[in-house]
């Protein structure tokens, strides 16, 4: 990589697809450890090693507790450990007190299993919305987080909190000038690292989300590469372990599952298997064109120079 190679931030929302899909369809066994996260983790770590790329793993507390043996290899490979919350419930559906408790539960699990204290946060399904961002960022700052990576200006997200700029920036919610000056405005000091979105068309009116592997299945690789090159500096990428699964995803519902639950699970399987087929190839193409680094490394560079 030359000094002029553009840089993107690479992340993994580290969660157990089986827990999430089973809960979504209402299956009785959803809390159990799924059968695939270990092989997905192996595939993911092997691919990142092959690409000489390090990433931030935003770890979901409940997935880590179901698979306490899996985090050690991630840490040993030199990846950053971030926080994806504990129960994977939308931030906007929680009270500030519930959100605080969710962050603390996740952090306690992560510290217990890795000895690391995460300073970066990614909301489940980018669920810090315009109507919840003020209190959510205040809670994150109060809980000692240094950066957030939850803003995703995708047209598919309702009531999304639109980033002030595509580049990483400090969050400083206006409102109370005295509080701003004192540095204790909601979220003051917290850095935001937006997900890569290609703003194209007249007046930048068309937004094409190019940062997430779940969107890559519908886009030709040259379009993804062009979009990433125009998404702004240090734009964010995100993957899920299930997108690197070497085997087809099957929800494997329990014997008491209803026909409706089985049909719902089949639909989710089909969606995820589509993304799964493209993700490794697209990531390889991206890694040939861009330097991929963890969020914490970018934060250290920016915060040190601010
Ligand atoms: Zn997630």
Look at residue 296 and tell me whether its pLDDT is greater than 70. Answer: yes
pLDDT digits (tens, 9 = 90+) for 151-208: 999 988 989 888 888 999 998 754 334 444 445 566 668 999 999 999 987 766 889 9
Nearest to 237 by CA among 164, 160, 291, 181: 291
User: What DSSP designation does 241 have?
Assistant: G
What is the pLDDT at residue 186? 60
Question: CA-CA distance, 202 to 152, in Å (whole number)?
Answer: 20
Distance 15 CA to ligand 1 centre (A): 6
Nearest to 194 by CA among 239, 238, 227, 151: 151
Question: CA-CA distance, 29 to 31, in Å (whole number)?
Answer: 6
Question: Helix (H, G, I), strand (E, B), or coil: what is residue 267?
Answer: helix
203: left (phi over 0), alpha (psi -120 to 50) or beta: left
Residue 284 is encoded by which pair of tokens?
């390889």
Q: Is there a contact between 92 and 66 (Cβ–Cβ < 8 Å)?
A: no
Q: What is the dihedral of CA 77, 292, 297, 232, to 10 degrees?
A: -160
Distance 51 CA to ligand 1 centre (A): 24
Distance 165 CA to ligand 1 centre (A): 24
Q: Is there a contact between 74 and 57 (Cβ–Cβ < 8 Å)?
A: yes
pLDDT-derived band at 3, boundaries 50, 70, 90: low
Report phi then psi at 283, rounded to 5. -65, -35
* Residues lying with their CB under 5 A of ligand 1, a single-atom ion: 13, 15, 124
Distance 14 CA to ligand 1 centre (A): 7
What is the pLDDT at residue 184? 55
Look at residue 113 and tell me whether its pLDDT is greater than 70. Answer: yes
Distance 252 CA to ligand 1 centre (A): 20
Has this prediction a pTM greater than 0.75?
yes
Q: Is there a contact between 108 and 66 (Cβ–Cβ < 8 Å)?
A: no
pLDDT-derived band at 261, boundaries 50, 70, 90: very high
Q: What percent of the chain has pLDDT over 90?
A: 80
Average pLDDT, the chain: 92
Look at residue 4 and tell me whether its pLDDT is greater than 90. Answer: no
Q: What is the 3-state secondary structure (H, E, C) of 193-221?
A: CCECEEEECHHHCEEEECCEHHHHCCCCH
What is the pLDDT at residue 268? 93
Distance 177 CA to ligand 1 centre (A): 35
Q: How far is CA 30 from CA 22, 57, 85, in A?
A: 5, 22, 17
pLDDT digits (tens, 9 = 90+) for 39-49: 999 999 999 99
């Amino acid at each position: 990589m030359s000094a002029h190679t553009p840089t993107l931030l690479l992340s993994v929302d580290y969660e157990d697809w089986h827990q999430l899909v089973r809960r979504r369809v209402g299956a009785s066994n959803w809390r159990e450890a799924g059968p695939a996260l270990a092989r997905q983790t192996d595939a993911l770590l092997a691919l990142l090693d092959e690409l000489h790329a390090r990433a931030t793993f935003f770890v979901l507390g409940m997935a880590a507790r179901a698979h306490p043996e899996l985090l050690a290899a991630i840490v040993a490979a030199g990846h950053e450990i971030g926080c994806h919350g504990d129960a994977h419930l939308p931030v906007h559906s929680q009270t500030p007190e519930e959100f605080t408790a969710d962050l603390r539960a996740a952090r306690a699990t992560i510290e217990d299993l890795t000895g690391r204290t995460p300073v970066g946060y990614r909301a489940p399904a980018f669920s810090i919305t315009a109507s919840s961002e003020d209190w959510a960022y205040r809670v994150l700052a109060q809980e000692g987080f240094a950066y957030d990576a939850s803003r995703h200006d995708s047209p598919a997200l309702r009531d999304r909190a639109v980033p002030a700029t595509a580049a990483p920036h400090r969050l400083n919610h206006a409102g109370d000038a005295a509080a701003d000056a004192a540095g204790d405005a909601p979220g003051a000091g917290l850095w935001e690292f937006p997900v890569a979105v290609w703003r194209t068309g007249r007046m930048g009116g068309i937004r094409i989300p190019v940062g997430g592997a779940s969107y890559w299945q519908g886009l030709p690789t040259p379009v993804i590469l062009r979009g990433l090159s125009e998404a702004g500096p240090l734009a964010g990428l995100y993957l899920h372990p299930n997108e690197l699964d070497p085997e087809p995803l099957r929800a494997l519902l329990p014997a008491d599952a209803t026909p409706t639950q089985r049909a719902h699970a089949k639909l989710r399987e089909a969606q995820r298997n589509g993304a799964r087929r493209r993700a490794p190839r697209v990531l390889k193409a991206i890694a040939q064109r861009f330097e991929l680094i963890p969020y914490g490394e970018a934060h250290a560079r920016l915060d040190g120079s601010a």
